[in-house]
Amino acid sequence: MFPFFPYPHPLTRVTRSSSSTAPSTTTTAPSIAPSECDPDSNPQLRAPVAARQFSASSATQVQSLKERLTELIPKEIEEVKSVRAAYGNKSFGEYTVDQAYGGMRGIKGLIWEGSVLDADEGIRFRGLTIPEAQKALPKAPGGNEPLPEGLFWLLVTGEVPTEEQVRGLSADWAARAEIPDFVKELIDRCPNTLHPMSQFSLAVTALNHDSAFAKAYSEGINKKEYWKTTFEDSMDLIAKLPAIAGRIFRNVYGDGKVPAIDPSADYSKNLSSLLGFGQNEEFVELMRLYITIHSDHEGGNVSAHTGHLVGSALSDPFLSYAAALNGLAGPLHGLANQEVLRWLQKMRAAIGENATDEQVAEYVWTTLKGGQVVPGYGHAVLRKTDPRYTAQREFALRHLPEDPWFKLVAQVYKIVPNILLEAGKAKNPWPNVDAHSGVLLTYYGLNQQDFYTVLFGVSRAFGVASQLIWDRALGMPLERPKSYSTAEIKKIFGGK
């Protein structure tokens, strides 16, 4: 039997109301009559509906993500050919020796389809800003935050899905969510002292055992078909992450008893339940927002670039994303929200609750004069307040406006940027996503800070996996930039 859904069944066709249309930057499906459901005759249809056999008794079917991709890939291949023919010899500009030494900041050398980061506007998911995505993407019944399933569909296709397509994706992921017994045993054998991110990476690596791509590659599959098994692995990867994360959390911080996946629940609801917070609807809503805003941040950050780089060697999505997780575990990437929370806790311990603005400012100056940074402020690309911070702030204003920790975060937001500008310490003195997330998680009782990066890891899989699918569909080559030694640089430029 197909699982019961408390919201519109994924196999039931419904129409899009005018209130659910996307912003003007993209075209979405309006309310349509049955006669208008032909995508060839109705170009306004964002995600065409086609027949698909989910069960023998299904009367009305919804086009799956893979079916839609099958239609889109040939067109995108031609689009890339056209772009390369027209602009292949154009230059992105010069870069300098300092950039080579400076972490390749500002060097333009990657293709990333899902998102583009603008210094002023922040991230755009396939052209949609975060507020636009929040408005356009389908939501759970009674919810205000977008379902991450819809965000994944958007990242993969560039289209806003219908509610039925999102519900179908929820059901698909729930059906794939079970992890192999040997992976369960692997996690259970890890000592509680092993960092949750190390356990997470270990378990994701082990999923390679059942990789459809690895098996097909060993059997000599045509490279034009690489994307199909990459898609299956990517779907399995995302689907299994909540079960892995939940098992690690329960082992390290609980009694080791892991509840079953609910086949009728959406992705965030299942993740919340596995962590023990499924009965708190506000926490579930937070997870929907958290996963959405942490899912992708273009291709140059450590985790995204690592996943793309390892995938370019035709490592399957499990191996590629395990490598990405190891990058995410670094203090300069995924651990930043923990550092923010600890800094706030130290501040409160030093100056007490309900501190004045002057006391907070003095503590900030003490931090800077001590040779430390103010965690959660500044960004390598952004030059305005991170929209991901703003989305979390708005969530807090709705759900926890009187929380003392939120009030402290808001107070710091009012004070820190001016101090950083005065001190000349940052090109961007504004808060980023990490300045807020830890306080929200703590408010709902998830105060196990070492686990925060695992939640980030669940989220970032959406962006990395969507790009891996397109990397294989477009036949992207092995990544191999040129490197130089310091001695070679002296030879090149020494006589000039």
Average pLDDT over residues 47-71: 60
Say whether pLDDT at 370 is over 90: yes
pLDDT at position 60 is 59
- Residue 138 within any structural domain of the chain: no
What confidence tens digit (pLDDT) does each residue in 64-84 have?
999 999 999 999 999 999 999
pLDDT at position 28 is 36
pLDDT at position 32 is 32
Average pLDDT over residues 347-375: 95
- Residue 383 within any structural domain of the chain: yes
Average pLDDT over residues 462-479: 98
- Residue 362 within any structural domain of the chain: yes
State the Cα–Cα distance between residues 300 and 440, nearest whole angstrom. 27
pLDDT at position 327 is 97
Say whether pLDDT at 334 is over 80: yes
Containing domain of residue 254, as a range?
A: 99-131+168-496
What confidence tens digit (pLDDT) does each residue in 279-302 have?
999 999 999 999 999 999 999 999
- Residue 30 within any structural domain of the chain: no
- Residue 13 within any structural domain of the chain: no
Instruction: Identify whether the C-beta of residue 443 lies closer than 8 Å to the C-beta of residue 386.
Output: no
| % of the chain residues with pLDDT over 90 | 79
Catalytic residue among 379, 386, 436, 471: 379
pLDDT at position 249 is 98
Backbone angles phi, psi at 373, to 5 degrees: -95, 160
Average pLDDT over residues 431-454: 95
Whether 379 sits among the annotated catalytic residues: the reply is yes
Average pLDDT over residues 362-384: 88
Average pLDDT over residues 380-391: 86
Q: In the chain, how many domains are there? A: 1
Strands of 122-125's sheet in order across: 115-118, 122-125, 128-129
CA nearest neighbour of 114 among 329, 307, 272, 390: 307
Q: What is the mean pLDDT of the chain?
A: 88
pLDDT at position 2 is 31
- Residue 374 within any structural domain of the chain: yes
What confidence tens digit (pLDDT) does each residue in 196-251 have?
999 999 999 999 999 999 999 999 999 999 999 999 999 999 999 999 999 999 99
- Residue 434 within any structural domain of the chain: yes
pLDDT at position 336 is 84
pLDDT at position 425 is 66
- Residue 65 within any structural domain of the chain: no
What CATH number did the domain enclosing 374 receive? 1.10.580.10
Whether 333 sits among the annotated catalytic residues: the reply is yes
What confidence tens digit (pLDDT) does each residue in 433-444 have?
999 999 999 999
Instruction: Identify whether the C-beta of residue 393 lies closer than 8 Å to the C-beta of residue 286.
Output: no
Average pLDDT over residues 138-156: 97
Catalytic residue among 172, 386, 434, 471: 434
Catalytic residue among 195, 333, 399, 403: 333
Q: Between the ranges 97-106, 179-188, 378-387, where is the mean pLDDT highest? A: 179-188
pLDDT at position 453 is 96
